[in-house]
Amino acid sequence: MNGSRASALTLAWRLASFGPRGYPVVPIAIIVITTLLAVFADFIAPHNPEIGVLGERFKPPAWQAGGTETYLLGTDHLGRDVLSRLIFGARVSMIVGFFAVIVAGVIGTALGIVSGYFGGWVDQVIMRITDTWLAFPALIFAIFLAAIVGPSLTNLVVILGAVFWTRYARVIRGEVLSLKERDFVRLAIVANCSNWTIMRRHILPNVINSAVVLASLQLGIVIIAEATLSFLGVGVPPPMPAWGLMLADGKKGMMAGYWWLTVLPGTCIMLMVLAANLLGDWLRVKLDPQLRQL
Amino acid sequence: MKRYLVKRIGYSLISLFLLSVIIFFFVRVTGDPAVLLVEPGASQADLDAVRQQLGLDKSMGVQYVTFVTDLLRGDFGNSFYYRMPVLELYLSRLPNSLLLAACAMLFSLFIGIPSGILAAVRLGGWWDRVGKIFALLGQSLPSFWVGLMLILFFSVHLGWLPSSGSGTVWHVLMPAFALGWLFAAAHMRLTRSSMLEVLGSEYVKLARLKGLPEAMVIAKHAFKNALIPVLTLAGINLVIMVNTTVVVETVFAWPGVGRLLYEGISFRDFPVVQVTVVLCGAMIVTVNLIVDVLYAVIDPRIRYE
Amino acid sequence: MRRINGPLALFLGVALVILVATNVQAAPEGQLVWGVHFSLAPTWFDPAETPAMITPFLTLYALHDALAKPMPGNPMAPGLAESWTVSRDGLVYEFVIRKNVMFHNGAVVTAEDVKFSFERYRGTSAGLLKNRVAAVEVVDAQRVRFRLKEPWPDFLTFYATPATGAAWIVPKKYVEKVGDEGFKKAPVGAGPYKFVSFTPGVELVVEAFEQYWRKTPAVKRLVFKVIPDESTRLAALKRGEVDIVYSIRGALAEELRRTPGLTLKPTVVQGTFWLSLVDQWDPKSPWHDRRVRLAANHAIDRKAINQAETLGFSKLTGSIIPSSFEFYWPAPVPAYDPGKARKLLAEAGHPQGFDAGEFFCDNSYANLGEAVVNYFKAVGIKAQLRPLERAAFFAQHREKKLRNVVQASSAAFGSASTRIESFVAGGGAFAYGSYPDIDGLFQEQAKETDRKKREAYLVKLQQLIHEKAMFAPIWELGFINGAGPRVQESGLGLIAGHAYSAPYEDLALKAR
């Protein structure tokens, strides 16, 4: 490998992942930009993302033969503007991703702390439930839940949250077990602090880092899960724009040469997930070097 | 040790029992298979006949008792859709799933372990980055999309590989890759962190002090020890692969357990769903059990937990 | 005798040519492979278990034969029965069975087998058939009589069409020997193809039965492979791994049409799709107003949706009843007129449109729902699409739990009367409410024995449904299939209303 080329690549990489002063500039930038798009979608998007003109369907991006400037990134199978859908899709995907991770994190962390702190039969019950949950194929569970509660954004968040909490519970419980042996927790117990106070004041702050690292790593998994559920027909309800749904819808166009229907949302998902992963890796090193089995 | 083992097995059985109860009632509240076994708009009489044939006209309690007593007698029931023994169906699919999962695991380790080692040894080097990005990409792309891209490129465009089905070595390549890539990142991460830990340990330092060449230290001392947790995770992931590969199996028309389960759910084929979920659960629980017991053997402190 | 004279030589020569020609044609050759979109089930190998669905006929047409069944150009063509007669009082149907027709195991088809198959039948409408048939009598090996309890003009409609599987004949001796379970594992029938192997969820293989009475099949082996994903099916067709694929929609169908060497093979099945406006009986709902329901009808550009989703191969309709059904009245297809739709909405007191709540559909047809919701929004009917997973959708629809707008469909066999019974008349399985005038007429027609009068009732009923704009009918689904370059005759579309390839003995590969 040519030396100068390799070093140029290294430099590019350094800028991309851990810019000056070791901050992951590009991942943060991706997440910030996506968030901005999500928040200001109404002002940025040129078209209504949910209404299309059937006669204008499958228009390629503007720079390709047959494309028009009205639809910069082309149109989909119902003649909806892909650019607008991507912009609004950022909102839906972020909502699903973040809230699902938060729901899962809250359930898992709470159960993990309770389980680890109380021990005994409480621990047994919670851990048996966790084991059972783990033995239940996650996607299958999601399909069931979707069938019961029906598809909507809120339900999807709840479903994904309900599927992905087990990991937090196990990791956090382990941490709590070792925290319990530490002096400051023992002192608090001796000082007759209430269980609630101890868990809130002394334990939670010490496990929150692990939860955050886990959450950042799971963000990607959740976004991919959203896409997969859409592929199976139980994800974000159409015509709502979400990246995963766009990808699942667009797959039929792949063979017909409508590449923009899959490559564009696919790239968005990929960038978002990569960013979340790189950020998670960085956070892990920064916050919690012991946490390795993730 | 013996007491620990008995306790652990007891817990596993409780988990499985819970699983069987949950799945039994869960699958029944989410839909009516009779409705799907007739054309929409078919007469009520047809519907009732199907319900009666499937034993769905009885109360849920009665159905559960029948299910459990049959199970204890070793009768896993008949599929509503295929009308043949579920166990037979399951066993006919299992080898395919195992084959796919094994090949996928090979791919995944083939990507994950070298990139993980390189990442640990040449921390921050160029190969570290490429390997890491490649591994992470697998996790960043939905597997149905990867699968379809593979089909488009290798089957339709180049014409090298068959698009779907099973039977030859060529058939397994693409689904195994699509599935294995998804898991590569996890294996890379673990290899990397476990290598880093081992490389910082006393005996590696000792080996270096003895003047052994670095390559030798890495290959012989570090790698061997770092591999244990990776293989453990691989074992668990293998079981997960067997059971949850619905998407890859659907895209490649691969006749595995995942699709059996998915079809079972789509048609509310209660016996198929119940048996498949319980058997999958048994596999996962067993592997977890083995892992826990092995760790207890290696690290005696865990026993008192 | 040294010299053979001219005419005789000519005669012998021609005879030889014919012999050789028929021989060449007689030996089945080659293999045809299908990419099927769903898993085949062994229940479909046994006609006795035919459920109320069209899918089992995919396998029945290959393995078995019926006394009478739909064939090209004839919805009730003589099969194993070469003819039948009805007694003057309408109580006795006598079938004459074709001579020397063999099952795959060499046994000859006799009247005993017909009687046995009928008595053993337990599939759809079995109860109905058995209630009305007093006895099946074997007259001799070639003749069998069905004696009805009372006149039933619809007997053949139920017996000798895909409405049931009762007329499909299985070999009595063989079934008694192997039992029901054994029969499903190794079915033997009188059809053009005999069973070779079956792997659930993977494939079914059948082989030509050279002694088939109608003709010797031209293709030696048929393989039905399950390929659940639509894109993968098309990829397999493009690559030549399969020769015929079922169910290709939208952009993929366009790609199929564009690809050189591949042929588009649409079939129109009797599956109608429509919107059920289930809240129309609630006085507080906007849908209570006929003008709103009409507006919904005029808001949808059916033609454009048809072009986009099924390349224009679906049949647009103004009725929920398939046009092939008995007593069908062709309701006019509502014109696409968004201006008129908006005007109607304004007249009904919704100048700014209204919030129509949820729009329920089965998630395998979410694309259609998406397009309709798109058009609704354009005129101000703001509906939120709620695609439900298939099992949940049908269960909830039957329990009448769905609200607002429901995208319904039905491919069930029957007549105008059975459809109205299920979806329109009070108490129907899918009727969320009803109108007294419709219910009254429906009761009348059910009692009517005179065909002409009954038809008049049913036409009047359909006109009422149309006038009230009870539904927003969309189309009779065009089912798009594809065939590869090796296929001479795919059998698709040969039999009216049949979704799959049939009759299998007519299929042919191109000469190399």
Task: Indicate if the pLDDT at residue C16 is higher than 60.
Answer: no
Average pLDDT value over all residues in chain C: 88
Q: Would an 8 Å CB–CB cutoff place C31 in contact with chain A?
A: no
Per the CB < 8 Å rule, is B185 touching A277? yes
Residue from B43, B148, B171 to probe the interface with C (highest C Cβ count within 10 Å): B43
What percent of chain C clears pLDDT 90, i.e. is strictly above it? 59
Read off the pLDDT of each residue in A190-200 and give the average, rounded to a whole number.
Answer: 83
Instruction: Report the relative pairing of strands C354-362 and C381-388 from DSSP bridges.
Output: parallel
**B36 neighbourhood in chain C, CB within 8 Å:** 390-391, 394
Total number of residues shown for chain C = 512
Per the CB < 8 Å rule, is B30 touching A266? no
CA distances from C80 to C63, C65, C102, C191 (A): 13, 7, 10, 10
Query: Is residue A25 a contact partner of residue A19, using CB atoms and an 8 Å limit?
Result: yes
Nearest Cα to Cα of residue C153 among C247, C70, C239, C86: C86
Query: For C477-499, how does the pLDDT look when each residue is reduced to its tens digit (9 = 90+)?
Result: 988 999 999 999 999 989 888 88
The more confidently predicted of residues C175 and B206 is: C175
SS3 content of chain B, % helix, strand, coil (to 5): 80, 0, 20
Q: Which of C230, C363, C389 has its CB closest to that of A252?
A: C230
Query: Which residue is associated with the tokens 């094994």?
Result: B102
Rounded to 5°, angle at Cα C44 from C40 and C47: 170
Question: How many Å lie between the alpha carbon of B239 and the closest alpha carbon of chain A?
Answer: 10
All partners of chain C with 3 or more CB pairs under 8 angstroms: A, B
Q: What is the pLDDT of residue C162?
A: 85
Assign C54 to helix, strand or coil.
Answer: coil
**A248 neighbourhood in chain B, CB within 8 Å:** 144
Q: What is the pLDDT of residue C36?
A: 93
Rounded to 5°, angle at Cα C465 from C464 and C467: 60
Residue of C nearest to B42 (CA): C412
Per the CB < 8 Å rule, is C422 touching B43? yes
Kind plus residue range of the DSSP H or E element containing B226: helix B223-244
The more confidently predicted of residues C172 and A148 is: C172
Average pLDDT value over all residues in chain B: 81
Torsion of CA B173, B174, B176, B178, to 10 degrees: 160
Q: What is the pLDDT of residue C23?
A: 45
For residue B103, the one-letter residue type is: C
What percent of chain C clears pLDDT 70, i.e. is strictly above it? 95
Q: Which of C252, C371, C391 has its CB closest to that of A255?
A: C252
Per the CB < 8 Å rule, is C413 touching B92? no
The more confidently predicted of residues C27 and C282 is: C282
Q: What is the pLDDT of residue C376?
A: 93
> What is the pTM (predicted TM-score) of this model?
0.85
Token reading at A40: 């200001």
Q: Which of C254, C374, C387 has its CB closest to that of A78?
A: C374
The more confidently predicted of residues A105 and C23 is: A105
**A146 neighbourhood in chain C, CB within 8 Å:** 389
Helix A138-149 vs helix B2-29: crossing angle, to nearest 10: 30
| Separation CA C476–CA C483 (nearest Å) | 22
| Separation CA B5–CA B293 (nearest Å) | 7
Query: Per-residue DSSP letters for B242-273?
Result: HHH-HHHHHHTT---HHHHHHHHHHTT-HHHH
Q: Show which of residues 113-152 on chain B sit within 8 Å of chain C, judged by CB atoms.
A: 148, 151-152
Query: For A68-93, how does the pLDDT look when each residue is reduced to its tens digit (9 = 90+)?
Result: 888 889 898 888 999 999 999 999 88
For residue B291, the one-letter residue type is: V
Per the CB < 8 Å rule, is B19 touching A132? yes
Which ipTM was obtained for this model? 0.81
Question: How many Å lie between the alpha carbon of A247 and the closest alpha carbon of chain C?
Answer: 14
Question: How many Å lie between the alpha carbon of A39 and the closest alpha carbon of chain B?
Answer: 23
Question: How many Å lie between the alpha carbon of A144 and the closest alpha carbon of chain B?
Answer: 7
Query: For B220-245, how does the pLDDT look when each residue is reduced to its tens digit (9 = 90+)?
Result: 777 777 777 787 778 778 877 776 68
Query: Is residue B17 a contact partner of residue A131, using CB atoms and an 8 Å limit?
Result: no
Among A271-285, B122-136, C7-21, C398-412, where is mean pLDDT lowest? C7-21
Per the CB < 8 Å rule, is A77 touching C234? no
Q: Would an 8 Å CB–CB cutoff place B29 in contact with chain C?
A: no
Task: Indicate if the pLDDT at residue C20 is higher than 60.
Answer: no
**B93 neighbourhood in chain C, CB within 8 Å:** 201
Q: Which of C251, C304, C367 has its CB closest to that of A58?
A: C251
Nearest Cα to Cα of residue C202 among B266, B85, B82, B151: B82
Q: Would an 8 Å CB–CB cutoff place B42 in contact with chain C?
A: yes
Query: For B143-158, how does the pLDDT look when each residue is reduced to its tens digit (9 = 90+)?
Result: 888 888 888 888 888 8
Q: Is B268 left (phi over 0), alpha (psi -120 to 50) or beta?
A: left
Query: For B3-27, how does the pLDDT look when each residue is reduced to its tens digit (9 = 90+)?
Result: 878 888 888 888 888 888 888 888 8
| Separation CA C322–CA C263 (nearest Å) | 26
Per the CB < 8 Å rule, is A147 touching C374? no
Beta-carbon contacts of A97 under 8 Å, excluding residues fewer than 6 positions away, are A219, A222, A223, A226, A272, A276
Give buried/exposed letters for C49-70 (b at 16+ CB in 10 A, else e). bbbbbbbbbbbbbbbbbbbbbb
Q: What is the pLDDT of residue A19?
A: 46
Q: Would an 8 Å CB–CB cutoff place C216 in contact with chain A?
A: no
**C249 neighbourhood in chain A, CB within 8 Å:** 252
Cis link prior to C485 (omega < 30° from 0)?
A: no
Q: Which residues pair with C69 in a beta bridge?
A: C77
Per the CB < 8 Å rule, is B137 touching A137? no
**B263 neighbourhood in chain A, CB within 8 Å:** none
Residue from C227, C255, C303, C381 to probe the interface with A (highest A Cβ count within 10 Å): C255
**B126 neighbourhood in chain A, CB within 8 Å:** 1, 6, 9-10, 13
Task: Indicate if the pLDDT at residue B169 is higher than 60.
Answer: yes
All partners of chain A with 3 or more CB pairs under 8 angstroms: B, C
Beta-carbon contacts of B91 under 8 Å, excluding residues fewer than 6 positions away, are none
Q: Would an 8 Å CB–CB cutoff place C392 in contact with chain A?
A: yes
**A254 neighbourhood in chain C, CB within 8 Å:** 231
Per the CB < 8 Å rule, is B139 touching A224? yes
Q: Would an 8 Å CB–CB cutoff place B148 in contact with chain A?
A: yes
Helices (H), C269-388: 290-299, 302-310, 338-347, 366-379
Residue of B nearest to C421 (CA): B43
Q: pLDDT band for A292, please (50, 70, 90 cuts).
A: very low
Residue of B nearest to A137 (CA): B244
Q: What is the pLDDT of residue B304?
A: 41
| Separation CA C72–CA A189 (nearest Å) | 86
Among A260-269, B17-26, C268-277, where is mean pLDDT lowest? B17-26
Instruction: Report the relative pairing of strands C354-362 and C405-410 from DSSP bridges.
Output: parallel
Among A175-184, B36-45, C214-223, C294-303, where is mean pLDDT lowest? B36-45
Question: How many Å lie between the alpha carbon of C438 and the closest alpha carbon of chain B?
Answer: 19
Report the Cα B121 to chain-centroid distance in Å.
30
Q: What is the pLDDT of residue C198?
A: 94
Q: pLDDT band for C11, please (50, 70, 90 cuts).
A: low
Task: Indicate if the pLDDT at residue B299 is higher than 70.
Answer: no
Nearest Cα to Cα of residue A133 among A96, A167, A97: A167
Q: Which of B145, B243, B244 has its CB closest to that of A251?
A: B145
Query: For C92-133, how does the pLDDT look when each residue is reduced to its tens digit (9 = 90+)?
Result: 999 999 999 999 999 999 999 999 999 999 888 888 889 999
Kind plus residue range of the DSSP H or E element containing B27: helix B2-29
Helices (H), A40-165: 41-44, 82-118, 120-135, 138-149, 153-164
Per the CB < 8 Å rule, is A292 touching B277? no
Q: pLDDT band for C379, please (50, 70, 90 cuts).
A: very high
Q: What is the pLDDT of residue B284?
A: 81
Beta-sheet strands, E only, within chain A: none
Q: Which of C227, C389, C418 has its CB closest to that of B253?
A: C227
Question: How many Å lie between the alpha carbon of B272 and the closest alpha carbon of chain A?
Answer: 13
Q: Would an 8 Å CB–CB cutoff place C377 in contact with chain A?
A: yes
Q: pLDDT band for B42, please (50, 70, 90 cuts).
A: low
Question: How many Å lie between the alpha carbon of B30 and the closest alpha carbon of chain A?
Answer: 6
**B33 neighbourhood in chain C, CB within 8 Å:** 391
Per the CB < 8 Å rule, is A293 touching B233? yes
**B30 neighbourhood in chain A, CB within 8 Å:** 144, 147-148
Task: Indicate if the pLDDT at residue C24 is higher than 70.
Answer: no
Q: Would an 8 Å CB–CB cutoff place B39 in contact with chain C?
A: yes
Burial class (CB in 10 A: 0-12, 13-18, 19+), B81: buried
